[in-house]
Amino acid sequence: MLTQSIVKPNLTIPPLENGDKLTRFEFERRYEQMPYIKKAELIEGIVYMGSPLRINQHGNPHIHIATWLGIYEALTFGVQAGDNCTVILDSDNEPQPDALLRIKKGGQSIINEKGYVEGTPELIVEIAASTASIDLNDKMKAYRRNQVQEYLVWRVYDGEFDWFRLKEGIYTKLEPDENGIIKSEVYVGLWLDINSLLTGNLAKVLEVLQKGIGTEEHKNFVKRMSN
- Rounded to whole angstroms, what are the CA distances from 170 to 145, 149, 185? 9, 10, 15
pLDDT in the model for residue 1: 39
Q: How would residue 133 be classed by pLDDT, with cut points 50, 70 and 90? A: confident
In this prediction, residues 45-73 reach a mean pLDDT of 92
Residue type (1 letter), 216: E
Structure confidence at residue 10 (pLDDT) = 39
Name residues whose C-beta falls within 8 Å of residue 216's C-beta, 6 or more positions apart in sequence: none
Confidence of residue 132 (pLDDT cuts 50, 70, 90): low
Query: Domains of the chain, with CATH numbers?
Result: 54-226 (3.90.1570.10)
Q: Cα–Cα distance between 88 and 90 in angstroms, integer?
A: 6
Biggest CA pair distance of the chain = 92
Q: Are 68 and 206 contacting, i.e. CB atoms less than 8 angstroms apart?
A: yes
Give the per-residue pLDDT at 42: 93
Q: How confident is the model at residue 217 (pLDDT cuts 50, 70, 90)?
A: very high
* Nearest Cα to Cα of residue 157 among 54, 80, 74, 26: 54
Contacts (Cβ under 8 Å, ≥6 apart) of 161 = 152, 153, 154, 155, 192, 194, 197, 198
| Spatial CA neighbour of 196 closest among 169, 167, 176 | 176
Strand 79-83, strand 99-103: pairing: antiparallel
Q: State the pLDDT at residue 196.
A: 98
Residue-level pLDDT at 13:
81
pLDDT of residue 11: 46
Which amino acid, 195?
N
pLDDT band with cut points at 50, 70 and 90 for residue 211:
very high
Residues contacting 74, CB < 8 A, separation 6+ = none
Task: Supply the pLDDT for residue 53.
Answer: 83
Question: What digits encode the pLDDT tens for the residues 144-159?
Answer: 999 999 999 999 999 9
The answer on pLDDT for 91 being more than 80 is yes
CA torsion sign, 181 to 184 to 189 to 192? negative
Mean pLDDT of 78-96: 96
* pLDDT of the residue at 198: 97
